[in-house]
């Protein structure tokens, strides 16, 4: 007995000792992190100097002791940012109009860098300087410059190692029509310094140089944006593909991108704390950074939507919008730190968190940018009613809910002129949309796991400081009967389907992460390798959509620049058939590019399909390495006599085959039986 007691005593001591070791380990970890942070701050020498402004005939300089920002007078081009020992982080070898600039692509191939005519001091104190570079459109320039009144604003604040930028663009009623395809800010960084690009925790790498993309150093691929690096300046990149569209990110995730100069241990970052001024909603994809080194802040584009996004302004159509502010942030770490990249990236994320917490900024001085007390919010709860899945109301967990200009249920994804405000619901479907600018909106939503889109059938008017509490909202997703079978997950992407291994000779190591595998070059041609002589056949109950359903319905390549339409088959069994009932094929499309899907039931040789989408889509998602473009849903009703008791086959034919990029991506397909519920 005594021996047992002693063993128990020693066990207790051992447990106490282990607890002390764990506590000491946690303390040392926290202490080490704090010391590291202090070291980082020491290296960056937090400066509280006054903000100083100097204006000359040729230049405007704003200096806060951390950064010195130089802007050409009166064009508004950002021509220099001095930080630490780097006299200019921008490429001084470039023309002054090709360092830091706004630009707009309009009316086809017209290109305007928004060169301004005047500079105005909006605010000048010891704590902040805000400048406005302006131009008023003149009808004498009709056809030569974009018909817009322009304000390009710069803000430098005490203690912030960077510059805020935003634009205010206006069309008056007497302005001519215009089509504005793209609006952005671009920054060309010092190429001999900035070599390492970071877009997210996983998408980071040493990048090729611009000279690596020219003849003799690379081989052009199927489109001009993509090249195979054959003789790059960095031998480690030999054999890789470089394509700027491989670095695209959805708006909801595109808040931070930038570059690092390893030699100087300096980071250059673009921070976007809000998406309210971006177009196309939270899932709109766009460019970030690419070889140059070029860093981008994209506001409007037709990427991954095509011209279906609303960017056409009719004659007499007035319009005004604020783009930004975004923050151009610079940081540095000790050259002695082996993990300086991680330090710089983590500090940039820390600063981004502060910017998001401070949104909407209260230091801007434009009446067109309302501060928090001039905005409103909308609260509510979204539930889902699908009696074939659950007789009870279901919680819309992690659903996307947003306010956007009035329109049809999915119009927000094509909306290119107004403001949008989006959030995600919590576990029980509650949502809070904060900091909404005054205006008239519709409320939209879509729920993971359910097809279709929700729209609240009333206009919501936001006024300053009002808080709107909505009743519980019920989404009744499209459904006509019970599920007989389904393929995929209703998530508006093709990400869950089979994505093949890339060609070894066309790999980009930045997309090695499993979640980004679809961004590898040339995956569309892998279909022709796998299905050389016949097309995809999917057998319900036997096949697995993650292994057997190719992510994109593309033509089959049968020779050089020679393609053939492809017909996919879905085979399934029906134990019983209601000949007098109506069945429904729910076909959700995640992307479409100059494609057409014809649907036939049990008769592949029928001259006329039972249903056709006709030609749809301009999103070009396949060559631009997107896993989705614009979402479309087709609810196809089919009379019962089209079906057979026992074996059945649905034939999906993608009829367009001029090239390998005429394709669709399916989101989800479901066959529903006739309505079996009592109304």
The phi, psi pair for 357, rounded to 5°, reads -65, -30
From 451, 475, 499, the end of a domain falls on 475
Q: How far apart are CA 455 and CA 488, in angstroms?
A: 24
Among residues 326, 296, 315, 310, the alpha carbon closest in space to that of 180 is found at 310
* pLDDT tens digits, one per residue of 411-430: 999 999 999 999 999 999 99
What is the CATH classification number for the domain harbouring 429?
Answer: 2.60.40.1120
From 419, 441, 475, the end of a domain falls on 475
- 367 falls within a domain: no
- 90 falls within a domain: yes
Separation in Å, CA 19 to CA 16, 464, 594, 619:
5, 54, 64, 57
Does the pTM surpass 0.85? The reply is yes
Which residues lie closer than 8 Å to 27 by C-beta, 6 or more apart? none
Beta bridge partners of 422: 402
Q: Stretch 172-188: mean pLDDT, rounded?
A: 97
Q: Quote the DSSP letter at residue 379.
A: E
Residues 434 and 511 in one domain: no
pLDDT class of 17 with cuts at 50, 70, 90: low
Residues 566 and 586 in one domain: yes
Domain of 336, in residue numbers: 52-190+247-358
Residues 461 and 491 in one domain: no
Beta bridge partners of 587: 634, 669
Predicted pLDDT at 3: 35
Q: Quote the DSSP letter at residue 633.
A: E
- Judged by phi (left if over 0) then psi (alpha if -120 to 50, else beta), residue 655 lies in alpha
442 within 8 A of 455, measured Cβ to Cβ: yes
Please state the domain count of the chain. Answer: 3
What is the CATH classification number for the domain harbouring 163?
Answer: 2.70.98.10
Residues 638 and 512 in one domain: yes
- 603 falls within a domain: yes
Predicted pLDDT at 41: 42
Residues 334 and 443 in one domain: no
Residues 464 and 505 in one domain: no
pLDDT at 21 over 50: no
Residues 574 and 624 in one domain: yes
Q: Considering the chain, what is the average pLDDT of its residues?
A: 93
Strands (E), 199-305: 204-206, 218-220, 226-229, 241-243, 249-250, 256-261, 266-271, 285-286, 289-290, 294-300
Residues 350 and 393 in one domain: no
Q: How far apart are CA 81 and CA 58, in angstroms?
A: 16
pLDDT at 278 over 60: yes
Among residues 325, 337, 187, 160, the alpha carbon closest in space to that of 259 is found at 187
- 591 falls within a domain: yes
Element of type H or E holding 589? strand 582-595
The phi, psi pair for 213, rounded to 5°, reads -95, -5
Residues 99 and 128 in one domain: yes
* pLDDT tens digits, one per residue of 488-511: 999 999 999 999 999 999 999 988
Residues 573 and 426 in one domain: no
Q: Stretch 636-664: mean pLDDT, rounded?
A: 97
pLDDT at 33 over 70: no
- 332 falls within a domain: yes
- 240 falls within a domain: no
Task: Give the alpha-carbon dihedral of 101, 107, 110, 112, to 10 degrees.
Answer: -30
Strands (E), 345-482: 376-384, 394-395, 400-404, 421-424, 430-436, 439-446, 454-455, 460-462, 467-469, 473-475
pLDDT at 227 over 90: yes
Q: Stretch 219-239: mean pLDDT, rounded?
A: 96
What is the CATH classification number for the domain harbouring 646?
Answer: 2.60.120.260
pLDDT at 607 over 50: yes
From 441, 475, 509, the end of a domain falls on 475
pLDDT at 217 over 90: yes
3-state helix, strand, coil in the chain (%, to 5): 20, 40, 45
Predicted pLDDT at 559: 86
- 229 falls within a domain: no
* pLDDT tens digits, one per residue of 429-460: 999 999 999 999 999 999 999 999 999 999 99
Separation in Å, CA 178 to CA 107, 147, 148, 300, 313:
6, 7, 10, 14, 5
- 465 falls within a domain: yes
* pLDDT tens digits, one per residue of 117-165: 999 999 999 999 999 999 999 998 888 999 999 999 999 999 999 999 9
Residues 416 and 270 in one domain: no
* pLDDT tens digits, one per residue of 358-385: 999 999 999 999 999 999 999 999 999 9
Beta bridge partners of 153: 132, 166
Q: How far apart are CA 610 and CA 6, in angstroms?
A: 83
246 within 8 A of 625, measured Cβ to Cβ: yes
Residues 435 and 509 in one domain: no
Crossing angle for the helix pair 340-358 and 2-44, nearest 10 degrees? 80
* pLDDT tens digits, one per residue of 469-484: 999 999 999 999 999 9
Predicted pLDDT at 422: 98
């Amino acid at each position: 007995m005594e021996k047992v007691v002693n063993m128990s005593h020693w066990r207790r001591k051992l447990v106490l000792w282990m607890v002390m070791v764990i506590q000491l380990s946690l303390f040392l970890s926290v202490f080490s992190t704090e010391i590291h942070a202090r070291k980082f701050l020491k290296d960056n020498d937090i400066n509280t100097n006054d903000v100083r402004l100097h204006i000359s005939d040729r230049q405007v300089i704003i200096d806060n002791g951390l950064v010195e920002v130089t802007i050409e007078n009166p064009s508004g081009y950002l021509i220099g940012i001095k930080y630490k020992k780097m006299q200019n982080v921008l490429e001084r070898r470039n023309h002054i109009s090709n360092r830091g600039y706004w630009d707009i692509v309009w009316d086809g191939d017209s290109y305007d860098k928004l060169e301004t005519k005047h500079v105005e001091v909006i605010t000048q104190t010891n704590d902040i300087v805000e400048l406005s570079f302006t131009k008023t459109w003149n009808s004498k320039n009709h056809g030569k410059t974009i018909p817009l009144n322009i304000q390009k604003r710069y803000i430098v604040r005490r203690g912030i190692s960077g510059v805020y930028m935003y634009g205010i663009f206006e069309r008056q009623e007497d302005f001519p029509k215009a089509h504005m395809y793209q609006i952005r800010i671009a920054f060309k960084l010092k190429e001999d310094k900035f070599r390492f690009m970071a877009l997210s925790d996983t998408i980071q790498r040493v990048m090729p140089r611009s000279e690596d993309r020219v003849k003799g150093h690379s081989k052009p691929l199927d489109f001009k944006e993509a090249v195979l690096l054959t003789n790059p300046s960095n031998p480690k990149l030999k054999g890789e593909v470089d394509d700027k569209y491989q670095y695209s990110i959805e708006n909801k995730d595109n808040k931070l991108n930038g570059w690092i100069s390893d030699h100087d241990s300096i980071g250059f970052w673009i921070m976007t704390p809000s998406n309210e001024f971006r177009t196309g909603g939270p899932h709109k994809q766009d460019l970030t950074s690419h070889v140059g080194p070029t860093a981008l802040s994209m506001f409007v584009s037709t990427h991954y939507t095509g011209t279906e996004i609303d960017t056409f302004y009719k004659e007499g159509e007035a319009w005004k919008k604020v783009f930004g502010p975004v923050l151009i942030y610079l940081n540095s770490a000790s050259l002695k730190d082996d993990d300086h990249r991680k330090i710089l990236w983590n500090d940039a994320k820390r600063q981004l968190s502060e910017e998001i917490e401070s949104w909407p900024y209260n230091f801007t001085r434009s009446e067109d940018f309302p501060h928090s007390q001039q905005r409103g919010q909308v609260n509510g709860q979204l539930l889902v009613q699908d009696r074939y899945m659950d007789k009870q109301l279901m919680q819309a967990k992690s659903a996307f809910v947003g306010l956007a200009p009035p329109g049809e249920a999915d119009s927000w994804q094509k909306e290119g002129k107004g403001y949008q405000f989006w959030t995600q619901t919590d576990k029980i479907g509650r949502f809070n949309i904060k900091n909404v600018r005054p205006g008239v909106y519709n409320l939209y939503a879509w729920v993971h796991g359910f097809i279709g889109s929700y729209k609240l059938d009333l206009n919501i008017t936001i006024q300053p400081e009002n808080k709107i509490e909505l009743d519980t909202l019920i989404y009744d997703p499209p459904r006509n009967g019970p599920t007989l079978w389904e393929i995929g997950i209703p998530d508006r992407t093709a990400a869950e389907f089979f994505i093949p291994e890339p060609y070894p000779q066309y790999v980009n190591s930045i997309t090695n992460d499993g979640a980004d595998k679809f961004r590898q070059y040339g995956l569309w041609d892998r279909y022709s390798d796998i299905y050389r002589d016949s097309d995809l056949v999917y057998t319900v109950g036997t096949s697995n959509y993650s292994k057997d359903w190719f992510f994109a319905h593309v033509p089959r390549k049968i020779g050089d620049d020679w393609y053939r339409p492809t017909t996919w088959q879905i085979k399934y069994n029906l134990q019983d058939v209601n000949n007098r009932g109506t069945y429904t094929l729910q076909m959700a499309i995640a992307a479409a590019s100059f494609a057409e899907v014809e649907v036939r039931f049990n008769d592949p040789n029928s001259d006329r399909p039972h249903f056709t989408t006709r030609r749809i889509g301009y999103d070009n998602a396949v060559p631009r390495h997107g896993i989705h473009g614009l979402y479309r849903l087709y609810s196809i009703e089919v009379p019962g006599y089209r079906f057979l008791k026992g074996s059945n086959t649905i034939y999906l034919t993608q009829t367009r085959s001029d090239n390998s990029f005429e394709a669709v991506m399916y989101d989800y397909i479901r066959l529903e039986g006739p309505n079996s519920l009592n109304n």
